[in-house]
Amino acid sequence: MLVGPPGSGKSTVGRVLGRRLSVPFTDVDTEIEARVGTTIAEMFTSQGEEAFRAVEREVVAELLGTDCGVLALGGGSVLAESTRALLAAHRVVYLQVGLADGIRRTGMSTARPLLAGVNPRATFRALLEARAPLYESVATVQIDTVKRSANQVAAAVLAALGLDADAAPAPEPRPGDPDDEITPSDDAALPDPVFGRPGS
């Protein structure tokens, strides 16, 4: 199970891990959108965060009760005490990301309604500070994603969990493969703030 804030690479790393371990990969956010028939951003706007969290808790609980392979939880899934309790029975990887990298990777996308607004940097910083203890509380291992490609992060996850022997060999690095692209330094220049209506 992969947890972490927006921009930590849960979906990308999860797909790599699924391939390496020859198991299914499921993204909770994608599963929610398929079930409700709309995007998460649209659900936030039309129904509110509380309604979204209720669906999220239900979907996570259902998936954790199955042999779901590699599962990437939404960034806010750990806010629910019931979800944290369920995660105690699983191996959980906390993918860590710094403030600058997290903002850069998300690009303050409107697909991430909690990061939209007039001060996305402050919003992301507050989100990291509030959720980091929750991620740590459910984590079996913690993996730093800064200056690592998705393939490198996946390799670190497998090593930390002792699954190297069970995984397919790592692919040779290929020019142009996004899974082999190293993330920039965490102290690189940040983008300018994006202004707009929250949740727009």
Least confident span in 13-22, 36-45, 84-93, 116-125: 116-125
d(C-alpha 15, C-alpha 70), whole Å: 8
In tens, the pLDDT along 108-165 reads 544 444 555 556 677 788 888 999 999 999 999 999 998 888 999 999 999 999 998 7
Question: Which amino acid type is present at position 37?
Answer: G
pLDDT of residue 115: 53
98 or 194: which leads in pLDDT: 98
pLDDT of residue 183: 66
Least confident span in 44-53, 84-93, 98-107, 149-158: 98-107
Are 74 and 6 spatial neighbours (Cβ–Cβ below 8 Å)?
Answer: no
pLDDT of residue 190: 34
pLDDT of residue 127: 85
Given a cut of 70, is residue 199 above it in pLDDT? no
d(C-alpha 145, C-alpha 33), whole Å: 26
Given a cut of 60, is residue 9 above it in pLDDT? yes
pLDDT of residue 122: 79
* Over residues 11-24, mean pLDDT: 94
pLDDT of residue 106: 66
* Over residues 1-9, mean pLDDT: 91
pLDDT of residue 142: 97
Does the domain formed by 2-180 have CATH 2.40.10.10?
A: no
Sequence ranges of the domains in the chain: 2-180
For 91-116, give one letter per residue: b (16+ CB within 10 A) or e. Answer: ebbbbbbbbbbbbbbbebebebbbbb
